[in-house]
Amino acid sequence: MMKSNPIMKKTIFNALVVGIIGLAQIAQAQDAKPPVTTPQPLKGIVKAVIETSKGNIEIELDADKAPLSVQNFVNYVNKSFYDGTIFHRVIPNFMIQCGGFTPDMQQKAPDKTIQCESKNGLKNLKGTLAMARTSDPHSATSQFFINVKDNANLDFPSFDGWGYAVFGKVTKGIEVADEIVKAPTTKKGQHGDVPVEAITINKVTITP
């Protein structure tokens, strides 16, 4: 009878251990998922350009004072939500509203509502952007408006204890807003103050 070789046994054992470890490492690699990264919150000033059928409007958004509203706007921009929408509500000596309807007055499906940030100290001065909403202060989604005059009556606390949250301002192209607000309007379905001729947002771009 042949005697067992202890050196050979040890070699075989080591090989089995290495093989098991190798299989475990392969399994771990297969099960491994890429690390989850949390987007960094926006800070400071975010710049953007709203390209309309009447000309370009350059804006600056205040992510420090209105972080929810600015992030909300940027999210819509990043998925091209605003492209092809219209200024659907235009009221002289007041404001121009956009961000929710197509030229045939079909409302686009927005994302979830956001909390009202009207207490941030920003005022509804001429050229500022503010979130549009219903009678519920926390109902804002995609729609916003540009003030074409100082509208102090919209500032916190306004008539309902909240007012309308300003989140940015026009830095160049206010004359475009002034031109849009002069557009002849009509009623389309249940909507009043709709420009007779569609005034579109061709594209919105976040800029450096």
Q: pLDDT in tens for each of the 208 residues of the chain?
A: 445 555 554 544 454 444 444 444 434 444 445 554 445 788 999 999 999 999 999 999 999 999 999 999 999 999 999 999 999 999 999 999 999 999 999 999 999 999 999 999 999 999 999 999 999 999 999 999 999 999 999 999 999 999 999 999 999 999 999 999 999 999 999 999 999 999 999 999 999 9
Task: Supply the pLDDT for residue 4.
Answer: 52
Three-state DSSP string of the chain: CCCCCHHHHHHHHHHHHHHHHHHHHHHHHHHCCCCCCCCCCCCCEEEEEEEECCEEEEEEEECCCCHHHHHHHHHHHHCCCCCCEEEEEEECCCEEEECCECCCCCECCCCCCECCCHHHCCCCCCCEEEECCCCCCCCECCCEEEECCCCHHHCCCCCCCCCCCEEEEEEECHHHHHHHCCCCEEEECCEEEEECCCCEEEEEEEEC
Task: Supply the pLDDT for residue 41.
Answer: 80
Give the residue extent of every domain in the chain.
45-207
Question: What is the dotted CATH code of the domain comprising 45-207?
Answer: 2.40.100.10
Q: Is residue 157 reached through a cis peptide bond, with omega within 30 degrees of 0 on the bond before it?
A: yes
CA distance 135 to 160: 8
Burial code of 180-192, b = ≥16 C-beta within 10 A, e = fewer?
bbebebeeeeeee
Task: Supply the pLDDT for residue 39.
Answer: 58
Task: Supply the pLDDT for residue 164.
Answer: 98
Q: How many angstroms separate the most distant Cα atoms in the chain?
A: 109
pTM, two decimals, is 0.82
